[in-house]
Structure 1
Amino acid sequence: MEAGKKMSEKLTLIVGATTNPSRYAYFAASRLDNAGVPFIPIGIKSGEVFGEKILDLRTKPDLENIHTITLYIGAVNQAEWLDYLISLHPKRIIFNPGTENPLFFQRAKAAGIEAIHACTLVMLSSHQY
């Protein structure tokens, strides 16, 4: 496991991570970092955010102990990763605004994963994370 040092009940996988400071996935990494919530950024672009290397989603890395997956890729781009993300057995998946996907939502619920339509940034700001 590449993120072996990150063992927390709220370890969060940021799907669609980016180094672009104008993107919501970047804001989420910043807020998680500030809140002390460990995170693993994953996406198709390389780089580093807040000291964490962005893992290549295309390699479908073997990750463990993921508590939350927070999505920052739209439904059109989720199909290829759906089975992989469910196979990580997170406790919850947050479908941020613009990532809503009824099929993924239902598949997650059927797999026993809490699936919610919410905003990670609002959840962190309101201490509901």
Structure 2
Amino acid sequence: MQQKKTLVIGASENPERYSNKAIHMLRGHNHEVVAIGNREGQVEDVTFGKDKTAFEGINTVTLYINPQRQPEYYDYILSLKPERIIFNPGTENAELEAMAEAKGIQPVEACTLVLLTTGQY
């Protein structure tokens, strides 16, 4: 399986959160993971904060923030030029999906955990 550097937006140290589960599962599948959260934290070997760091080589952005909070991330996400953006359940956003498509970025409405579990990531 090709390793895909992934940015998790909405990262949390809370093990009940799906973003936390996604970081664990992505690392378990040997994907390089970087993350941004509402506060500083760490999950496995992934440390994160609130800064919109200009990460290099991002293949996938996976969203764990609701559509109302996404506009402040639009320019940032698009500037990273990922191959795809995964809109996990509850994060679907037609506006950002259209903006991504216009830039040649594939929007995917899916669950990162399911994609990893079924080998479709």
**Which amino acid in structure 2 is aligned with residue 90 of structure 1?**
P
2:101 corresponds to = 109
Q: Distance in 2 between matches of 1:54 and 1:112?
A: 28
Task: Please name the residue that 1:79 is paired with.
Answer: 71
Q: Distance in 2 between matches of 1:68 and 1:60?
A: 15
Give the share of equivalent positions with the same residue, in percent. Answer: 43
Consecutive aligned runs of 4 or more in structure 1 exceeding 3 Å deviation: none
Q: Offset of 1:60 from its aligned partner?
A: 1.9
Q: Which residue of 2 aligns with 1:55?
A: 49
Q: Distance in 2 between matches of 1:47 and 1:120?
A: 21
TM-score, normalized by length of structure 1? Answer: 0.89
Give the drift of 1:12.
0.2
Tell whether 2:120 aligns with 1:128.
Answer: yes
Q: TM-score, normalised by structure 2?
A: 0.95
- Quick one: which amino acid aligns to residue 81 of structure 1? Y
Q: Secondary structure at the match of 1:10?
A: coil
| Superposed displacement of residue 41, structure 1 | 1.4
**SS at the partner of 2:11?**
coil
Q: Is the 8 A contact 1:94 1:115 kept in 2?
A: yes
Q: Is the 8 A contact 1:94 1:117 kept in 2?
A: yes
Q: Aligned partners of 2:62 and 2:32: how far apart in 1?
A: 13
Paired residues in the alignment total 120
The runs of 5 or more residues in structure 2 that have no matched partner are: none
Letter in 2 for 1:50: E
Does the CA contact (< 8 Å) of 1:9 and 1:67 recur in 2? Answer: no
In the alignment, the residues of structure 2 paired with residue 44 and residue 22 of structure 1 have an alpha-carbon distance, to the nearest angstrom, of 16
Please provide the CA RMSD for this pair: 1.1
Residues in 1 aligned to 2:83 and 2:14: alpha-carbon distance in whole angstroms: 28
In 1: Cα distance, 2:32 partner to 2:39 partner: 20
Residue 59 (structure 2) pairs with residue 64 (structure 1): no
Select 2:15's aligned residue among 21, 26, 38: 21
* Offset of residue 55 of structure 1: 3.2
Contact 2:3 2:31 in 1 (8 A): no
